[in-house]
Structure 1
């Protein structure tokens, strides 16, 4: 019950890391509000409150923040991966990467922050976890220009929030996973010219010799949202299987 009595909102909770983390939080005693743009993906999250949310809709973010009230925790998990080097991407790809990976995150943090400050004043701490990545934001990878730049911006946003509100009890950290076996990754593998080789290539860049599972990632999020991490803020937390050694 490491998250007992905490109220935590999760985006992109319909599948992958978001879903596994929402379930892990609930198992640790949190009241979880799981959101996703796809209502069907939210089915089966027993014991967890659900809400449809398009994180690129600024008004929808404001409405949800007002509805759920003060939060103890926020996990910004929604994001998109664009493939391509600089000469392969266009302005539309670039703009959407920043819209979903950075601007939506900023808006959600901004919308819930007043309530989180209220909760921090009562309990001493409240926590935000932003999904970044080790890919190109920490270590350079080929064909990840828009993705890497946007995820690097997530780390900058995280550190800025942490610095601005550290004295008011708000902690903010970025999660930087390695390559995780999720529906998103499986979709990118399936869309490649040679799916078998693509999977081998993803595994080959992991020194541990395997892809991460969502169960490898969720415990770090639980830790960062729990009081166990009360002295941790402004960090880019790597869970990458040794890629950045």
Structure 2
């Protein structure tokens, strides 16, 4: 969507991580809605560049640099954190302990460290919105062969609700988006990995109540709403956008 609006006019928003196509689209929508967008990535390159977006490469192990960046980003009015970008395939018995640790490190620990670093700035700025991206696999339904991925994403939902309860009095709203199948390059790679991409796509589509997958634009619309003043009375919520996948049939 290229139409310029002003739903986020004057807001400074922190976004993690623009390597992901969904997050890149969210950055673009935030910018088009009038926000000043600061994006954090762990692997900055020419491919992560987004016009009109300030991108910083970070190292979670370098607390001094992170703190300096947090001090420099003032004011701050919202955060959008998408760490659930990698899917680890496997059941509990097939899940190697190292893979389990890696999944929690990428999804949960990264979100924890980012929020812990920048939340004081958000509070100092008068409060604002924190939005996490999880998955229906961590909230609404059980999905086969997603043990570590599901457990890590369920932890994000718990983290979000904890922040909403603990910091509501400071003007902090915290919500989680739990998408179902979103059409992205990663989705296509998962279908290709089955050896029968078309068959896998048809089977997955058949499970969608609306007969299609979600789009990154649709998720970005929801992200704008949660970052805007339109959602000022919305906190501690888990917003499912799965096209009815998890609804009873």
With normalisation by structure 1, the TM-score equals 0.91
Which of structure 1's runs of 4+ aligned residues deviate more than 4 A? none
With over 3 angstroms needed to count, the CA separation of the structure-2 counterparts of 1:195 and 1:217, relative to structure 1, is same
Pairs within 5 Å for 1:119-134: 119-120=125-126, 125-134=127-136
Structure 2 residue 27 is the aligned partner of structure 1 residue 33: no
In 1, Cα distance between the equivalents of 2:16 and 2:213?
Answer: 23
In the alignment, the residues of structure 1 paired with residue 195 and residue 72 of structure 2 have an alpha-carbon distance, to the nearest angstrom, of 45
Q: Confirm whether residue 53 of structure 1 aligns to residue 55 of structure 2.
A: no
RMSD value over aligned CA atoms?
Answer: 1.7
How far has the Cα of 1:61 moved from its partner?
Answer: 4.0
Which SS does the other structure have where 1:86 is aligned? coil
1:189 aligns with one of 188, 191, 194:
191
Match of 1:216 in 2: 218
Q: Tell me, in whole angstroms, the C-alpha distance in 1 between the residues paired with 2:62 and 2:195.
A: 37
Contact kept? 1:136, 1:145, Cα under 8 Å: no
Provide, for residues 75-115 of structure 1, a one-character-per-residue CA deviation record: whole Å limited to 9, x for no partner.
11122211111122111111111111111101111100111
Q: In structure 2, how many angstroms separate the alpha carbons of the residues matched to 1:136 and 1:78?
A: 13
1:147 aligns with 2:149: yes
Asked if 1 retains the 8 angstrom alpha-carbon contact of 2:88 and 2:103, the reply is yes
- Are 1:92 and 2:98 counterparts? yes
Aligned residues: 239
Once the 2 structures are TM-superposed, how far is the Cα of residue 63 of structure 1 from its aligned partner? 4.5
Structure 1: runs of 5 or more not aligned? none
Instruction: Pick from 67, 74, 79 the counterpart of residue 74 of structure 1.
Output: 79
**Among 117, 140, 143, the residue aligned to 1:111:** 117
